[in-house]
Amino acid sequence: MDLSDLIKPDAILASLKANSKKQALQALAEKAAEMTGLEEREIFETLVQRERLGSTGVGGGIAIPHGKLAKLDRIFGLFARLPKPIDFEALDDQPVDLVFLLLAPEGAGADHLKALARIARLFREPGVVGKLRASSDKSALYAVLTTGATPNAA
């Protein structure tokens, strides 16, 4: 599964200003609603419910909030870079500044898990996180997300 299947160039928030986890999730839900045509409130509630099970802050300043929505027709991704890291109750207690939102249709089961695994793998690639933190340009962020740390992009 290629990340370009999950995320489009206009689904990049290069500088999301949020002072809390709730604010960040609200802003992500707002943008996701605008792009998917779904209700912002429904997206937000889905994300909050998932966070109650345990933080999606996976460590290293990265969070991958995700959820399933009945009315969604395809897996949808949205990336946000926060200029000021926020507390996300992450597993390592580190503040988060890189957020990849993943929404999937209710019946997406295995595809949802594959997409989550693909995103997690990308964030473990050497150089990717540094490049994402170093850039505030939407197209550069999209390029890093969809190509990873390619050898000739050093």
Annotated catalytic sites, by residue? 66
DSSP strand pairing (96-105 vs 76-86): antiparallel
SS (HEC) of the chain: CCHHHCCCHHHEECCCCCCCHHHHHHHHHHHHHHHHCCCHHHHHHHHHHHHHHCCCEEECCEECCEEEECCCCCCEEEEEEEEEEECCCCCCCCCEEEEEEEEEEHHHHHHHHHHHHHHHHHHHCCCHHHHHHHCCCHHHHHHHHHHCCCHHHC
